[in-house]
Amino acid sequence: MPPSGPNPYLRTKIMTASPQELRLMLYEGAVRFCRQSLAAMEKTTTMLRLMP
């Protein structure tokens, strides 16, 4: 089931975070999305190798 809307706990965490905590959240999100994109590229590469 997809999320139905913004998470109120996450919103509170963001609104009360210090600038340093916000920067850390930003970096953690960037790393997470980089890992996801690498996994997708590896999957695509594997699929292309299997094609005749």
Q: Whole-number mean pLDDT of the chain?
A: 91
pTM, to two decimals: 0.69
At 18-37, the pLDDT tens digits run 999 999 999 999 999 999 99
Please, what is the end-to-end C-alpha distance for the chain in angstroms? 36
Q: Could you state, in order of their start, the residue ranges of all structural domains in the chain?
A: 20-52
